[in-house]
Amino acid sequence: MIFFVTACGGPSDSADVPQAKIAGPTSFVLDNHILYFSAQPTKRLNPAISEKYRIKRSNNRAMFNLSVIRKLDGISVSADITVKATNMTGQLKSTHIRKIKEFDNTILYIGDVNISNREVIIFNINVKPDGENKNFKLKFERQFYID
């Protein structure tokens, strides 16, 4: 019995267990608008969704999704958006972003980027919502784990 209790004491000091990180914000207020952001490995996408948006499902790709909502009425708005993605060593990651307008007038901006296991990607986003006179600069970090 003593052996069992000792064995359940948790990982040893040499165990390769990643430390949990507190997730960063997923939205930012931009004066009269709110920017929503998410990112996930494309392998986790529902196959029907990946087919609809022509996103390749892969363990080595992540999809990011941006949406700009007008605070006054909760309506999606267009925006000029650029995304620069880098890893922790400063290596620039190639991104492709495109605007999608749904049948209900929801506007999404989706893109993808190559990832590696445990890689932290820093998304530097410039956004100018329609109707705003200034650009906003935001930064999101996400760490990805590959199954």
Query: Rounded to an integer, what distance in angstroms lies between the CA atom of residue 141 and that of residue 88?
Result: 10
pTM for the model stands at 0.79
Tokens 């507190």 locate to 22
**pLDDT band of 8, cuts 50, 70, 90:** very low
N residues, the chain: 147
Q: Secondary structure of the chain in the HEC alphabet?
A: CHHHHHHCCCCCCCCCCCCCCCCCCCEEEECCEEEEEEEEEHHHCCHHHHHHCCCCCCCCEEEEEEEEEECCCCCECCEEEEEEEEECCCCEECCEEEEEECCCCCEEEEEEEECCCCCEEEEEEEEEECCCCCCEEEEEEEECCCC
Q: What is the set of domains in the chain, with CATH numbers? A: 24-143 (2.60.40.3340)
What is the tens place of the pLDDT at every residue in 53-91? 899 999 999 999 999 999 999 999 999 999 999 999 999
